[in-house]
Amino acid sequence: MNIHRCRFVDYTPHTITALSFNLPSVASNIQPPSTLRLAVGRSNGDIEIWNPRWSWVHEITLKGGQGRSIEGLVWSKGGNRLFSIGGSTSITEWDLNTGLPVLSHDCNAGVVWSLAISPDGEQLAAGCDNGTVVLLDLSSGIKGQIDHLKILQRSNNRIMSLAWKGANQVVGGCSDGRIRVWSTESSNNGRILATMKVDKSRLDESTLVWSVLVLPNKQIVSGDSTGSIKFWDAQNFSLLQSFKSHEADILCLASNYKGNTIFSAGVDRKIVSYKIVNSKLKRWASVSNRLLHAHDIRAMTTFEAKGTSFLISGGVERTLVINSVTNFMDGMFRKIPITRHRPCVQAISEPRLLMLWNDQSVKIWKVDEYIEPDAESLQSEEKGKRLVAKITLNCEENVTSAALSENGSLLAVSTLAETKLFELTPSENGSRLLVQKSNEANALSSLGASIIRFSQDSSKLIAVTPESDIVVYNVANDELIEESSVNDSDDEDDEQNFHAASSRNIFRLSVSNCGKYVATARPNGQINLFEITKTQVRPLGLLTKLNSAPTALKFTLKNTLIIATAEIKVLEFDINTKSLTPWSRRNSDLLPRDLINLVDKCCGIFFEPCSPNRVWLWGANWLAFLDLAQNMPFQRVAKRKIDRLGVDEEEDRATTQEIRKSLPLNGHDVNGTADNASTSVPFWMTLKYRPMLLADTLGAGELVVIERPPFDVPLPPAFWSNHKIKV
C-alpha cells in the first residue's frame, strides 16, 4: 500500500489568550464535579470548551470572527453562563447550546481590558482603557440579562487586570505602575480606598501591572512588566515581599486552592512556583521553575479536587500544556497536539483533492498519483501537488465546516449565519479549479450550520444547525426537505445546567454510503439515527448512550456503524437491530493495549475500497487498523480484567510480539508504505506520523496522511536572554 505523507497543508492554529475553568477548586476530600469544563480563548475569537475527563476531550467551539480576539473569560457561579471580552467596549455572553452570542452588553466606558466576577457570582467588574471600572449585575440568573449597577471612581490610566477582594472591594492593576483598590459599597460611592506603587522600569517607561491576585490569607499578589512579583498586605496596603523571578513581563498569575502556592508566567516562557515558608509571618520563597513552553505564556489557570490537580497554561505556542499543581516540579506534563479533534481537512479520492478550511478561507490542492520516491528527484517531488483553488469568504464569521462532493464538482462552506454553495470546474489546462458561487442555492442563504456533509451521490447536503437540528438540502431542487430535532428526555429537566447545555450539541455526523441514513453523536454519549426520505428526515430514535464521549463514527458498506469513544474503545452497531454486532460483542472489550492505552483520541475512521472489512482509525499521533472479519487473538479474561479495558499484561505482550512478527512492517516503525500488509493480521498500528490533521484513503491501495509538525507553524521570535535559565 502506498502512503502519501503530506506536510504542505498550512493549517495554523491561533494564540491562546485566555483560560478559565467554569467551577472553582474544591477541598481535597471532594470529588471533582462531572460538569467541570475548561474554556480556552484564542486570538481569532474562537472559544473552545474542553472536558478534562478521559484525558481531555474537545467538546465544542464557540466560533469567533475576523478582528475579534478573546482577551478575557469568566464564568458565572455554577458555571452555566460564559462571558468574554476582546478589543471592544462590550461584554459578550455566549449560548452554550447554539454556540451563538446571547447578548453583547456595551459598557459605554471605553475598550474593556479586564474582567472579574465577584465571589458570590452576582456582580461583574469590567476594567476599561479610560480608567473606568464598571460594575454589572448578574443576580437575576437569567441568560442574556446583564444590568448596569454603577461606575467606580475613575482613574486616568488603563485597567490592565482586576480581582475581587471579598464582596465589597475590587483590586485593579493599572498601566501607570499602580495597584488601586476600590470600594463597591454604596456608602463609599465607589471611591478608591488605597493605591500601591510598583517599581519603575529602567527604560523610563510606565510599568504595566498585567496581573493581580487576591489570596485567602489577606494578601494581594501582583505581576508587572519589570518581571517582578510582589506580595502586599491587603489590610494595610503595604509591600511585604518582592521577587525578580522573570526577565520580562509577567502576564499571568494563578494559585492553588489553599492559597499557599502561587505560579507566575509570562514572556520569558518560564513558570515559577512560590510557596509560604513561614505561615505566621506569611513569608514566601521562590521554590522552583520549569521551562515547558517555547514561547510567551499568555494565560494560566488551576483547578484542584480529590485526585485532581491541574495547572493549565497556554500562549503564543498555540498548544495547551497540562501540568500538576501538587507535583509541579517533578510531575509529568502533557502538551495537547495543535491539530483539531474534529478535522478541518477533507480528502476526495476520485478527483484526488485535499481541502483545508480555517477562519474565513478555504484552500484546495490537487495531489498527483503516487510515484516511488527513489524514481524521482526532489525537484520532481515538489511537483506532486499544487494549489488549485483558494476562496476567502466575504463575511466576518469564522467558517464552521466545509464539504466537497465526491465528484469534486461542488463545494459547500458554512458559518453559523449562512451556508454557501460553489461550483468547481477544472480550467482548460487542468492547472486550477474555477470557482463560481451557485445562483440557484437560495434556500441555503439563511441556513447557518455547525457541520455539513454531502451524500455519496452528491445529490444532498446534510447540515446540522446551531440548534442541533438536522436539515437536508436537495441540490437539484434547491429545497430544504425538512428540519428535525431530537427530544432528549434525559436532559430536558436540566436545561439550565451547563452539563446539559454543552452535551446536547451534535458534534459528530456520519452519512451512510447509500445516502439513506444519518448518525449523529453528542458529547454526553448519545448516538441518534435518522432516515432520509424524499419528503422528510425521519428520526429512528436513540441507537445507544455510551459511558464516554464518542470522538468518531463512520458507516460501513453493510450499513453498520463504527464508533470510537474517548476511552479508545471501538464499537460496531447494527442499525437495524440497534445492537452490537457479533464482532463487537466478541472483541470490543479485548482490544490490544497498544491501542486502548493511547492518550490522544481517535479523530477519524475510514475504509479502503479494496478491503471493506479493514477499519482504519487515526488520532493526532497514531494510525491503526482493525480487521472486522477476524477476532482479536486474545483469550477471554476474567471480569476484573475486562473492567480494566484490557487483558493480562504478559499475555498481551506475547500476543503483540506475535502480531508484529507477522506484519511486513514493524507496528511502531513504519517506513511510509504498507503495501504487503497481510489480511490475516487483525491489528496494526504505527506512531510514525505526528501530529496529523487527517488520514484517509485516496483510492485503491493509496492512503494520504496530512501532518502539521509544530516546527512548520510560523511563530514570531521568542524571548531570548544571555542569562542561564535553570530548568
What is the arithmetic mean of pLDDT over 320-331?
A: 96
| All three cell numbers of 223 | 505581576
* pLDDT given for residue 634 in this prediction: 61
Query: Which of 358, 319, 357 has the alpha carbon at shortest distance from 15?
Result: 319
Alpha-carbon distance of 632 to 563, in angstroms, equals 17
The tens digit of pLDDT for each residue in 405-457 reads 999 999 999 999 999 999 999 998 888 999 999 988 889 989 999 999 999 99
What is the arithmetic mean of pLDDT over 592-615?
A: 94
Query: Which of 26, 64, 727 has the alpha carbon at shortest distance from 395?
Result: 64
Q: Tell the residue number behind the cell numbers 425521519, with chain if given.
A: 538
For residue 138, how far is the Cα from the chain centroid?
28
SS3 374: helix
What is the arithmetic mean of pLDDT over 704-726?
A: 81
Share of the chain above pLDDT 90, in %: 77
Evaluated on CA atoms 680, 683, 687, 692, the torsion sign reads positive
DSSP character at residue 350? T
The tens digit of pLDDT for each residue in 228-254 reads 999 999 999 999 999 999 999 999 999
* pLDDT given for residue 661 in this prediction: 44
Query: Which of 59, 551, 72 has the alpha carbon at shortest distance from 299?
Result: 72
Q: 411 near 424, Cβ under 8 Å?
A: yes
Looking at the DSSP bridge assignments, the partners of residue 423 are 410, 436
**CA distance readout (Å), 348 to 375, 409, 540, 722:** 26, 11, 29, 50
pLDDT at 488 exceeding the cut of 70: no
- Parallel/antiparallel/unpaired status of strands 570-574 and 602-608: unpaired
Confidence of residue 227 (pLDDT cuts 50, 70, 90): very high
For residue 545, how far is the Cα from the chain centroid?
23
Share of the chain above pLDDT 70, in %: 88
* pLDDT given for residue 157 in this prediction: 94
pLDDT at 33 exceeding the cut of 90: yes
The tens digit of pLDDT for each residue in 606-620 reads 999 888 899 999 999
What is the arithmetic mean of pLDDT over 94-121?
A: 94
The tens digit of pLDDT for each residue in 3-27 reads 899 999 999 999 999 999 999 999 9
* pLDDT given for residue 416 in this prediction: 96
Evaluated on CA atoms 148, 149, 151, 157, the torsion sign reads negative
Q: 631 near 682, Cβ under 8 Å?
A: yes
> Amino acid identity of 582?
P
Alpha-carbon distance of 38 to 50, in angstroms, equals 5
* pLDDT given for residue 660 in this prediction: 41
46 sits in the region (left: phi over 0; alpha: psi -120 to 50; else beta) called beta
Residue-by-residue DSSP string for 609-651 = TTEEEEEEEEETTEEEEEETTS--S-----HHHHTTTS--HHH
Confidence of residue 679 (pLDDT cuts 50, 70, 90): low
* pLDDT given for residue 662 in this prediction: 40
The tens digit of pLDDT for each residue in 143-179 reads 899 999 999 999 989 999 999 999 999 999 999 999 9
Alpha-carbon distance of 91 to 93, in angstroms, equals 7
* pLDDT given for residue 669 in this prediction: 41
Confidence of residue 502 (pLDDT cuts 50, 70, 90): low
Q: Tell the residue number behind the cell numbers 469567533, with chain if given.
A: 64
pLDDT at 484 exceeding the cut of 80: no
| All three cell numbers of 507 | 458534534
**Preceding amide of 691 cis, omega within 30:** yes
The tens digit of pLDDT for each residue in 180-203 reads 999 999 888 899 999 999 998 877
Burial class of residue 649 (count of CB atoms within 10 Å of its CB; 0-12, 13-18, 19+): exposed
Phi, psi of 98 (to 5 degrees): -105, -20
Q: Tell the residue number behind the cell numbers 495547551, with chain if given.
A: 320
Q: CA dihedral in degrees (88, 89, 93, 99; nearest 10)?
A: -20
The tens digit of pLDDT for each residue in 40-50 reads 999 999 999 99
* pLDDT given for residue 451 in this prediction: 98
CB atoms within 10 A of CB 582: 11
Phi, psi of 350 (to 5 degrees): -65, -50
Query: Which of 352, 247, 345, 262 has the alpha carbon at shortest distance from 296?
Result: 247
Element (H, E) at 501: helix 498-503
